[in-house]
Structure 1
C-alpha cells in the first residue's frame, strides 16, 4: 500500500498543484480557465494541429530521452542544445554531399548525426573525468560555441549554398528522405516517429534489461556504493554523455529528412531546453517522457486558439513552467515525507528492541 501511494500520490499532487497555478495565471490575465481549456482542446481537431502535435512530440521525445540518460547518471547535460545542432548540420552536410541508394542514404545521415552529437558531448565528459570540470559550465559554453561553428560550416566559404536570401547546406537528395505518413488535408506525420519509438524502446531495454543500465541507475542513485561494487565511475560518465549526445544528434532529423531537407541558420532552435523540461515531466521514464512530450506539444500547438477567447498566447509559457514546477515540487515533497516516515519507523523499531533487551 505504501509503495502504491508513493507512486500515485506525487502525480496526483502535481496535477492538482499545476491546475491551481494555471488557473491563477489565467485569471490574472483576465481570461476564463474553462474557455481557454475548451478552445485549446477544440483546436486539436482543426486543420493540421493534431499532426503538428505528433510531429513536435516526436522531436521533444528524442531530446527528452537524451537529457534523461544524463539525469540517470546525475549529469546535467544542458549541452543537448548544441549537440543536436552540431549533429544536424553534420548530417545535412554529409547528406547533401552524397547520393546513395534509398535506405543507405538516410542511414548514413543518421549515423553521422549521432556520431557528431556524441563527439560534441565527449568534450565536457573528458573535461569532467580528467579535470573535474562541471559539465554544467562546459555544456553551457559549448552551446554558445556551437552557434559560431554552425555559422562557419554553412557559410559559402565552407559547405553552404545560397538559396534565395538564405544560406544553408546543400539539399539532401530524395533518396535520403524518410517518407511521412500522409493524412490528407490534416497533414503528414514525420516518418521519423518510428525511429523515435525505437529509441524509446531501446532506452527502456538498456535501463531495465542490461548490466550497463543497472550500473547507470546504481551510479546515479549512489555513486559511492556503485564504486564499492566495482563500477568504474569515470567510464560510466563518459559512456552516459556519449549516449546522451548521440540521441541528441537525432533531434533535428525528423524535420531535416521529413520536411526541410537542408539546414540553415534559421532552422528551429531551443529544443534542448524543452528536452530538459520534458525529461523532468517524465521523471526520466520512457513512458513518462512520451506523455510529457505530447503535453508540451499540445500546449505549443494549441496556443494559437487562445487569441480567440481574449487570452494572450504567451500564457502557455507560464502554464508550461507551472507544470514542470509542480512535478518537481510534488515529487520532492513526497520523497521527504516518505524519508521522515521511514526514519520514524526505524526509530520506533530501535526503541522497541532496546526496551525488549532491558
Structure 2
C-alpha cells in the first residue's frame, strides 16, 4: 500500500469509527433512560422533506461561518471562545447601520457587512492584544468579553431600538427592502423551498479561508506559529503580530455569523435574535478538523440533527435534548478516534520504514557475499 493510499484510508477510518462510537454511546444512553432506541434513530435518520431541507441548509450556512471563525483561531493554536459575543455585537451594529439606510440599496448592505466584520475583529482583537502583550489567556478574556458583549448589546438595544406595537419584543429599525439579501429557490415544490442568499457569501468565505491559509505566506506563518512558536521565532516570524492578526481575522469572520439571519429573514436585531451560535461553531471546527470542507460537513451534520430533532417529542415522546447529547458525543469520539488513528498511522509508518531498512540490509549482505 502506497503512502498516499494509506493516508486516505486512515483519514476515512477516523470519522467512520467516530460515528459508529457515537451511535453506540447514544443508543446506550437511550436504553438507560428507557426511551425507544429504534424509533428515535428512525426519526433522526429519516430523509428530510421539502421545507426541512431548506431549514437545514439555512442553519448550516450560519453554523459554517461560526465554525470557520473558530477554526481560524485553532489553526494558530488559539481558542477563540468569544465567537458568540463577537457575532452578537457585530449583528447589532450591522442592524443599526443597515436600518439607518445612509446609503442606497446594496451599498447600504455592503456597509453593514463591512461594519459587522470590523466590529467583530475589534472585539476579538481585545483578547489578541491582551494575549500578545500581557500573556492573558484568550480563553479567559474571550469568555469575559462574551458577558460584556451580551450586557452591552442589551443596554444599547434599549437605547437604539423601537418597540413593536402591541408587543413586548423590541428591535432595531427594520432594514429597507432594497438592502436585504434575497433568498433563492432550490425547489419549486410544493412546497416552494427557499434558502438564504448569504449562502453564496458563506461559500466564498470558505474558499478564501482555504486559499489564505494554504496558498499565502500569511497563512504559512499562521500555521507555522500555531505548530511551534519556537520554530516560528527562529524563522523570523513575530509571534505577537501573528497572535493579534489571527484574533482579528477570527473576529472578522465571527462578525458574519449573524448576517444570514439578519439580512435574510429577521431584517432587524431584537431581543429574540438567535443566540448560542458561537459555541456550536467551536464543536463544528473540532469536528471538521479546521478544514474548510470538513467544517462544511460538520455544519451540515449539526444542522441536520437539529432539524430532525424538532418532532422527536411529538412523534416519539423523547426530549429533543438527546440530539445535544449526540452532537457532544460525536465531537468527543471524533477527537479520540483521530488521535487513535494518528498513533496507529505513526506506528504503521515506523514498521514500514523498519521493514524497508531490514530489506536493504539483507540486500547489502547478499551483494557483499556475492
Same fold (TM over 0.5): yes
User: Is 1:320 the counterpart of 2:321 in the alignment?
Assistant: no
Kindly indicate whether residue 118 of structure 2 is the aligned counterpart of residue 115 of structure 1.
yes
**TM value normalised by structure 2:** 0.89
User: 8 Å contact 1:43–1:305 — kept in the other structure?
Assistant: no
Cα distance change on mapping 1:43 and 1:345 into 2, 3 Å = closer
For 1:161, the equivalent position in structure 2 comes to 162
Alpha-carbon deviation of 1:232? 1.3
In structure 2, the residue matched to 1:232 is: 238
The alpha-carbon distance between structure 1 residues 17 and 346, as it changes in their structure 2 partners (threshold 3 A), is same
Q: What's the counterpart of residue 7 of structure 1? A: 11
Work out the number of aligned pairs and report it: 353
Unpaired runs of 5+ in structure 1? none
Matches within 5 A, 1:1-358: 1=2, 2-42=6-46, 44-45=48-49, 48-155=51-158, 158-163=159-164, 164-182=167-185, 183=187, 185-307=191-313, 308-339=315-346
Provide the rounded CA distance (Å) in 2 between the counterparts of 1:43 and 1:341.
39
1:62 Cα offset (Å): 0.3
CA distance in 2, matches of 1:91, 1:241: 20
Question: For residues 219 and 348 of structure 1, what CA distance do their matches in structure 2 show?
Answer: 35
* Structure 2 gap segments, 5+ residues each: 365-370
TM-score, length-scaled by structure 1: 0.92
SS in 1 for 2:162: strand
Larger radius of gyration: 2
User: SS in structure 1 opposite 2:46?
Assistant: helix
1:20 Cα deviation from its structure 2 partner? 1.4
344 and 268 in structure 1: CA distance in 2 versus 1, 3 angstrom threshold: same
Q: How far off is 1:271 after superposition? A: 0.3
SS in structure 1 of the partner of residue 163 of structure 2: strand
Measured against aligned partners, the alpha-carbon deviations of 1:4-56 in whole angstroms (never above 9, x if no partner) come to: 3432222222122112112222323334443323223436115x211110000
Q: 2:259 and 2:237 mapped to 1: Cα distance?
A: 34
C-alpha contact (below 8 Å) 1:43/1:49 kept by paired residues? no
The whole-number CA distance in structure 2 between the counterparts of 1:43 and 1:264 is 34
Q: Is the 8 A contact 1:190 1:258 kept in 2?
A: yes
| Conservation of the 8 A alpha-carbon contact between 1:281 and 1:324 | yes
RMSD over equivalenced CA pairs, Å: 2.4
Query: How far does the alpha carbon of each residue in 1:145-185 deviate from its partner, in whole angstroms, 9 at most, with x for none?
Result: 01111012111xx3111123222211111121000013453
